[in-house]
Amino acid sequence: MSDGTATPAVVRVEGVTKTFPRGNVTALENIELEVAPREFVSLIGPSGCGKSTLLRVIGDLIEPTAGTVRVNGKSARQARRDGGYGIVFQEAVLYDWRSIAKNIALPLEMLGWSRRRRRERVAEMLELVELTSFADHHPWQLSGGMQQRVAIARALSFEPSLLLMDEPFGALDEMTRERLNLELLSIWEQTGNSVVFVTHSISEAVFLSSRVVVMSPRPGRIAGFVEIDLPHPRTVETREAPRFFELVTEVRELLRRRGEHLLPEEEAVLE
Amino acid sequence: MSNAAAVVRSPPARRRRASVVGGLARAGLVALVAAALVGFWELYHWVWVSTGWTWPFVVNDTSMPHVWTIYHAFGQPAQVNQPALINVLLHKTAFTAKEAAAGFGLGALIGFALAVVLAQVRLLQRGFLPYIVGSQTVPILAIAPMVVLWVNPRLPGSLQGWGAVAVIATYLTFFPVTINTLRGLQSADPRALELMRTYAASRWAVLWKLRVPASLPYLFSALRLAATASVVGAIIGELPTGLQDGLGGAIINFNQYYSIEPQELWATNVIAAALGIAFFVIVVLAEKAIVRRAPEETA
Amino acid sequence: MTLRPRIGVVVEWLPPLVVFALVVGLWEGLVRALHVQQFLLPKPSTIISVFWTQRHVLWPAGWYTFKEALGGFAIGSGAGVVAATVVGRFRTAGQALMPIFIAANAVPIIAFAPIFGAWFNPIQPQSKMAIAAVLCFLPVMVNTLRGLQSARPRQVELMRSYAASELEIWRRVRVPTALPFLFTALKVASVLSMIGAIVGEYFGGAMNALGVTINTDAQIFQFDAAWAGILVASLLGIALYSAVVVAERLVVRWSPEARVS
């Protein structure tokens, strides 16, 4: 990761533990993680390994029981207040009463951008996700994949240096998912922000990431890291490269080794 | 996620205990709210009387009789040589409840049947739905005397009088049932409908095995509304018919003596309110017993 | 493509019009064929002709009662929204009190109509407004409260990620979520307010009020005039209801249901 030179990490998670008092569940235990500028990090692991919780702790949507989180050198809370990150959930979470353009403009309104600047930026973002002709539509008129592209455009609209994504393509079909993977990569290359990406899919994690973080459950811990050295730009062919399969196998092995004590049905999730 | 697992694994005994505690808390809350209402009533009375405020209306022992005056009225005969008011009112309540229950049953049946027919034939739905909505804007109180004139001669002896009022209660009851059931019948999951199609299920089978079960939560939320509507319908129906056996008759009667003995009208209204709430609670309990699945909020 | 909307309009309006013609025709025909007595059910043609000849009495009476209903509708619905906002501010209190509000909604308020007559001068419109307002209050309050509480958790979480204040979450998420609930309640309330005003007038009201007119006509067995009055009441009730529906379509433009129903 960091090679000793003092590049300031975008995300620095130190000794984070999170226990939920109800049911006394330890969701995260002593997590250490750094995300460098322009890095694309995927969190992968079976259900209950705390990867979504970790994402929310980074976003200051959940407070850790112990440990600290710093985003761009600031406390997580301050970073949230300053519009330090954009977030995308598994569902698009669009606001039904706002048009597509106004959904994308929402964070800009919250940050107090002028009307003119908002209009310009929204037009840019719509172009980025290729939905310009849908600006005045309402969410219910769009397909699931299109809705998710709106959510991504909204998360990127205020140019945050960090993008948090919680299984953003989990509810989509395989073909849409692969196309959006490519789109996400090209957006990431254009914007140059850091991404923390939660997923269930090994191949998605390997295809997208610079680094894959494998997590194990009960309590949620980091089981290991896999550096992804596939060249950029990644294309459809990347998925067919021998190196891609080696890396997929490496991640799978890591998951399997740590998952030996899992119940059978939980292991099925990993496939 | 892990929280859900914990809930599933919690032993039933703990859940039962939790529900008992919840029930007690709820009963305590009801008592608290009732006490607060009584307190507010007396406080309002005292403040307005002592300050002499007359807005929005003049407060005195006639316009707002003391809670204890109303309470005492229950124990005393309204007229000489009569039993205590509470006994008289309970008899009248039973009579009104009979009308309301008959109206409720009939209205629920008609409302449900109408919804099933309209759900099956879209053309009928397009044609009739606006009038079903419009029917509720007809001031039923104004029609009641004509309904009674028309219905009463056609009823067998045992239904004379109260049967016509039940018809009026039916009129108010069927509406929420039709509207909500229709929505419920159309709420069936499209994937489940497709599954039924793969079984080559008949229209009839789709209706009874899929659409009707899907509509049950909607039906019950409608029945809760209908329970209230049936009591309102019974009281409204009694008003212009001159029927003296029910609460509506009592309201008309005591209204004439309001300036002398307001507590009797108030006592009657307290009982009427209790009857409405009782009908509602019965439907809620019936729903809990019949629909054994996740509680749904569809109003 | 250009023909489509026009066909849609026809499909939407034709069945109700056919039903209307059929029902009125059948009513007229049956009353004539079976020689039904005038006091039981007058012919539609008779009702319409009385409706026309007595228009100078009926419309002012209808307007008088309509104003009472409208006043009660505005006061009751407004108070319902305010109360829901206040109670919704305190979430646990709102959730605990909800079953009680719902049960209170089961009280037959109509039974209290004569008391309002005694509180206010029964000749004055305030007493009818008060009944209509009380009738409208609870359904509006209960539904608005439920609407304010049914914002989707993820939508709120996303607002938190923008560091939105509670007030901003309320304005940008909770209120828009509650609007369809509010309009459902307002539709119910619009019908209730008209009924409340007329029931109120049953226990005494100004001579030129619609409820009083209908009641008097019925008592002196002028049923055709009573029916004409009922027609006026229904038309005004439908007008208020339709106004709410139009307002809903203007305000809740985003939902697919707003277009269909």
Residue B105, both tokens: 């049953």
DSSP type of residue B101: H
C113 and C74 belong to one structural domain: yes
Residue C2, both tokens: 């250009």
C5 and C95 belong to one structural domain: no
Q: Which of B131, B137, B241 to mutate to test the interface with C (most CBs of C within 10 A)?
A: B137
Residue C260: pLDDT band with limits 50, 70, 90: very low
Mean pLDDT of B6-13: 48
Interface contact A257, partner C, CB < 8 A: no
Residue B111: pLDDT band with limits 50, 70, 90: very high
pLDDT digits (tens, 9 = 90+) for C184-224: 899 989 988 998 899 888 888 888 899 999 888 888 888 88
**In C, which residues are within 8 Å of A59 by CB distance?**
161
**In A, which residues are within 8 Å of C160 by CB distance?**
61, 80
- C211: nearest CA partner in chain B: B142
Asked whether residue C71 carries a pLDDT value surpassing 90, the answer given is yes
Spatial separation of the C-alpha atoms in residues C175 and C182, rounded to whole Å: 10
C67 and C155 belong to one structural domain: yes
C82 and C200 belong to one structural domain: yes
C104 and C171 belong to one structural domain: yes
Q: Hey, are the CB atoms on C230 and B273 less than 8 Å from each other?
A: no
Listed residue (A233, A171, A207, A244) closest to A44, CA to CA: A207
pLDDT digits (tens, 9 = 90+) for A57-91: 999 988 999 999 999 888 888 888 888 888 999 88
Mean pLDDT of B14-34: 80
C181 and C215 belong to one structural domain: yes
> How many Å separate Cα A19 from the centre of its chain?
22
Domain-located, residue A31: yes
Do residues C53 and C117 touch, judged by C-beta distance below 8 A? no
Residue C155: pLDDT band with limits 50, 70, 90: very high
Q: Which residues contact B298 (CB under 8 A, 6 or more apart)?
A: B180, B184, B217, B218, B221
Spatial separation of the C-alpha atoms in residues B17 and B31, rounded to whole Å: 21
Domain-located, residue A37: yes
| Percentage of chain B exceeding pLDDT 90 | 34
C48 and C16 belong to one structural domain: no
Mean pLDDT, chain C, rounded, equals 86
| Percentage of chain A exceeding pLDDT 70 | 92
Interface contact A83, partner C, CB < 8 A: yes
Q: What is the pLDDT of residue C256?
A: 63
Mean pLDDT of C53-70: 93
Q: Hey, are the CB atoms on A48 and B2 less than 8 Å from each other?
A: yes
Measured in degrees and rounded to the nearest 5, phi and psi for residue B245 equal -85, -10
- Domain at A56, CATH number: 3.40.50.300
Q: What is the pLDDT of residue B96?
A: 95
Residue B298: pLDDT band with limits 50, 70, 90: very low
Q: pTM of this prediction? A: 0.83
Q: Which residues contact A115 (CB under 8 A, 6 or more apart)?
A: none
Which amino acid is located at A266 in the chain?
E
- More confidently predicted of B74 and C40: B74
Q: Provide ipTM, 2 decimals.
A: 0.85
Asked whether residue C252 carries a pLDDT value surpassing 50, the answer given is yes
Mean pLDDT, chain A, rounded, equals 86
Spatial separation of the C-alpha atoms in residues C261 and C259, rounded to whole Å: 6
C19 and C107 belong to one structural domain: no
Beta bridge pairs of residue A68: A14
Do residues A23 and A216 touch, judged by C-beta distance below 8 A? no
C8 and C132 belong to one structural domain: no
Alpha-helical runs (H) found in chain B: 2-9, 12-51, 67-75, 85-120, 122-135, 140-151, 162-185, 190-198, 203-206, 212-241, 247-256, 262-290
Q: What is the pLDDT of residue C261?
A: 36
Asked whether residue A2 carries a pLDDT value surpassing 50, the answer given is no
Mean pLDDT of C89-114: 82
Q: Which of A53, A75, A96, A113 to mutate to test the interface with C (most CBs of C within 10 A)?
A: A96
- Domain at C96, CATH number: 1.10.3720.10
Domain-located, residue A53: yes
C10 and C108 belong to one structural domain: no
Asked whether residue A266 carries a pLDDT value surpassing 80, the answer given is no
Asked whether residue B260 carries a pLDDT value surpassing 70, the answer given is yes
C188 and C244 belong to one structural domain: yes
Residue B107: pLDDT band with limits 50, 70, 90: very high
Mean pLDDT of B32-39: 90
C47 and C160 belong to one structural domain: yes
Query: Positive or negative CA dihedral for C244, C249, C255, C261?
Result: positive
Domain hosting C52: range is: 42-260
Q: What is the pLDDT of residue A269?
A: 44
Domain hosting A9: range is: 1-84+201-271
- A88: nearest CA partner in chain C: C158
Listed residue (A54, A61, A45, A42) closest to A17, CA to CA: A54
Mean pLDDT, chain B, rounded, equals 85
- More confidently predicted of C187 and A5: C187
Beta bridge pairs of residue A43: A198, A213
Q: Hey, are the CB atoms on C198 and B141 less than 8 Å from each other?
A: yes
Q: Give the total number of structural domains in chain C.
A: 2
pLDDT digits (tens, 9 = 90+) for B56-98: 888 888 889 999 999 999 988 888 888 888 999 999 999 999 9
Interface contact B2, partner A, CB < 8 A: yes
Q: What is the pLDDT of residue B270?
A: 92
Q: What is the pLDDT of residue B15?
A: 61
Spatial separation of the C-alpha atoms in residues C45 and A121, rounded to whole Å: 65
Alpha-helical runs (H) found in A37-194: 51-58, 76-81, 100-110, 115-128, 144-156, 174-191
DSSP secondary structure of C128-143: HHHHHHHHHHHHHHHH
Q: Give the total number of structural domains in chain A.
A: 1
Mean pLDDT of C100-118: 85
Spatial separation of the C-alpha atoms in residues B139 and C237, rounded to whole Å: 9
Spatial separation of the C-alpha atoms in residues B66 and B74, rounded to whole Å: 13
Spatial separation of the C-alpha atoms in residues B186 and B181, rounded to whole Å: 8
Listed residue (B147, B227, A59, B270) closest to C218, CA to CA: B147
Domain-located, residue A221: yes
Listed residue (C231, C199, C241, C195) closest to C55, CA to CA: C231
Provide the 10 A C-beta neighbour count for residue B270: 18
Asked whether residue A24 carries a pLDDT value surpassing 80, the answer given is no
